[in-house]
Structures are given as structure tokens and as C-alpha cells.
Structure 1
């Protein structure tokens, strides 16, 4: 029981590291976009609800690579057919450091970033229109850290799907709101070692 309590205390202590430490080499980012607004560039663009879980590992300070999954359902109007979107692939993020040329730290507890993704995915609509093939996207975002290891994020992204089906290219601009949890891998190893 003492080991369990000690492990819990160390885990909480590990999650309260300084605000600059969360995007250092060796840390993990796990999160999801929970609310997505879609401003369609193709005919039939509108609003959608999607969940977009993602995870990434910081290979260098401010640089993370990982994977994502997109699952979404949308309708343009009440009488329009339902559309289902799906994708899986890799993603990369680069966080801008305060003091870089042209970068102001908007708020003391946040960071600007650029995110890009590349994978496979598609969409299908009840009326038979579909696209499947390459899923890609790129855009800027901002992460505001409500605690040193939890960030609320906003992301504006050009998102596209190109390939096969009745619609060769499907693209839109999305505004995503979500969160990310930053896990220091060194603190995780300390907790595992203490439990043993």
C-alpha cells in the first residue's frame, strides 16, 4: 500500500513540472480534437462532429512525431444525407519557441505550433458519393497550458482527401478545439521503478 501511495505522489509530482518542460525531447503528447467546425471548399461543405485522437513522441525539443485517427459524422442540413469520414496516419508538430524571429508568446502559458499529417482515409455519403486514398493536412495552432502538462488547443487546418471514388478530391478548412496531455517519460519510468 505504501508503494502505491508513493507512486501516486510521484506521478502527481511528475505532472507538475515547469511549463517549458512539456515539449522537451523524450516526452509524450496524447490528446484529441473534440469539436470540429468544417468550412467546406467543395459543394456540400458545412459543419461536422468528429473525434480525432492523436499521440506523438518528442524526438527533439519542440518537435514531435506520431500518429492520428479521425472518425467523424456530418450533415450539411437537416434533410441532407449523412457523411462518414475516417482516416489513420502519421503526424508531425513543430512548436515555436518564445524569442524566435517573429514569434511573440501571446500568453505566458501557451505555445504556437504547426501541425501536418499524412495517411490514408476517405469519406462516404449515404447517396453514394465517396472518396478514399491519401489523407493530408497542414495548419497552425495554439496550445494554452491550463496546467504545466495539460493544454487546451485550437487548430486551423487545411484538410484534404485525394484518390479513388466518385469524388477524386475532397478538401476543406477546419477549426478544431481539443486538448493534449504532455507526459514526461522520465517521470513515468521513475514511477514504474518505484512500484517494483
Structure 2
């Protein structure tokens, strides 16, 4: 009789522990679900707000294909970091730096540099044909130079550029982009002017500002 009572007591304790464990698991799973739902809502909100006022854009162009207007067509590699702040929805102002190295077979080596201000405007809403895409226009103004080895044409002075581009957001915070720009350089040196039409590829990281973060939080509530 005593053994039966002990078995019954053990079964009751075991069932009690199992019930407690199930309650803990249910609470934990609910927390995971709520956290996942909040994260999804957060990313969804940011996905529609990359280019809102107060956000920050950081990135650059990694590879440029240079279609020279003054010189024969050559291939060039440029590094052009950029950073900008959205002063209002769709409009960003910031700065850039540039360093480029151009080489061609049986030709001189060309180095280029630049530093200055940039402005960017994103047009319209998401492209319907290609979802999560935006057309934009970019213009820059700064100081730059192009210097060719072995007595080539050198120009250092005012550097201006303008052109259209397209950004495709592969995530809510990262956009891949292509940009076609006309670049003009006016200054002093053996050649007073140089120009080219430049097709570039790069990426930008869009960091939400306080306004966007508050908007997302309010949308989630």
C-alpha cells in the first residue's frame, strides 16, 4: 500500500513538473513570436522609409567603366566613398572622396583624385515593374585632378558631375545602384579641361534616423 502511494505521489509530482515546463515553453515561444513579429514590422517600416528626412546614407562606387570622350576608351578602377544626410524626404546632401587608377596596354598610367560635396534626389515612388527600386539624380561639385605619367595631359581644378541613376534595395537597409554621369574638370595644367562619360556601380547603406525609428515604433504599437 505504501509503495502504491509513493508511485501515485511520484506521478503527481511528474505531471506537475511537466505542466510547469509546458507553461514555461509556451511563454518562451510567445516571446519569440512577438519578437519576430516586431522585427518584421520594424524592417517593413524601414523598407518604406530608407530615404526619409533624418536618415543617413553611407557607401560608394567600387568599380567604374570609363567611356572616355577626350581619350580612347579605357578601363578604370575607382574607389569613391560617399556619405549623405537626408535633409528632407527624397533629398540628401553630403560629401565624397575619390581616388582612381587607369591603365591601358602600351599607354601611360593615369591617376585621379577628388573631394567635394554631393546632392541626390530620389524621384517618385517604388518602381512598379521592378519592386523596391528607385530612380535618382546625383550632382557633385568639388576639387579634383587628373594626372598622366610621362608627360601626359594634367588638369587640376574644379570638378563637376551630374547624371541619373537607379537604386535597387536588396534589403531594407542596403541598395545596389548604377549611375551614369557626365564629369567635367576645369582648371590649370598642361590641359585646362577634361571630360568623360562615366558608368559606375556601387552600393549604399541606409541608416534610419530618429524620426524613422519613432515612426516605426508608433506603427508597431
Alignment TM-score, normalising by the size of structure 1: 0.83
Matched, 1:125 2:186: no
Q: Radius of gyration: which is bigger?
A: 2
Which residue of structure 1 lines up, in the alignment, with residue 209 of structure 2?
Answer: 185
Contact 1:11 1:188 in 2 (8 A): no
TM-superposed CA distance for 1:47, in Å, is 1.6
Distance of 2:66 and 2:122 partners within structure 1: 24
Which residue of structure 2 lines up, in the alignment, with residue 42 of structure 1?
Answer: 70
List per-residue Cα deviations over 1:124-153 (Å, max 9, x = no partner).
Answer: 011232100001100000000000110000
Instruction: Say which SS state the counterpart of residue 18 (structure 1) adopts.
Output: helix
Q: Which has the higher contact order (CA 8 A, sep 6+)?
A: 1
Instruction: Say which SS state the counterpart of residue 23 (structure 1) adopts.
Output: coil
List per-residue Cα deviations over 1:105-164 (Å, max 9, x = no partner).
Answer: 441111000000000000101123210000110000000000011000000000111110
Which residue of structure 2 lines up, in the alignment, with residue 97 of structure 1?
Answer: 124
Instruction: Give aligned pairs, total.
Output: 176
Q: Which runs of 4+ in 1 moved over 3 A?
A: 10-18, 187-190
* 2:193 corresponds to which of 169, 182, 191: 169
Which residue of structure 2 lines up, in the alignment, with residue 193 of structure 1?
Answer: none
Distance of 1:14 and 1:131 partners within structure 2: 49
TM-superposed CA distance for 1:186, in Å, is 1.7
- The structure-2 alpha-carbon separation of the partners of 1:13 and 1:54, relative to structure 1 and needing over 3 Å to count, comes to farther
Contact 1:55 1:68 in 2 (8 A): yes
Distance of 2:78 and 2:173 partners within structure 1: 24
List per-residue Cα deviations over 1:69-122 (Å, max 9, x = no partner).
Answer: 1100002x21111000000000000001228xxxx5441111000000000000
Q: CA RMSD in A?
A: 2.4
Q: Which runs of 5+ in 1 are unaligned?
A: 1-9, 191-196
* 2:58 corresponds to which of 30, 36, 49: 30
Instruction: Say which SS state the counterpart of residue 21 (structure 1) adopts.
Output: coil
Matches within 5 A, 1:2-151: 17-75=45-103, 77-98=104-125, 104-128=127-151, 129-151=153-175
Instruction: Say which SS state the counterpart of residue 79 (structure 1) adopts.
Output: coil
Greater strand share, structure number: 1
Which residue of structure 1 lines up, in the alignment, with residue 21 of structure 2?
Answer: none
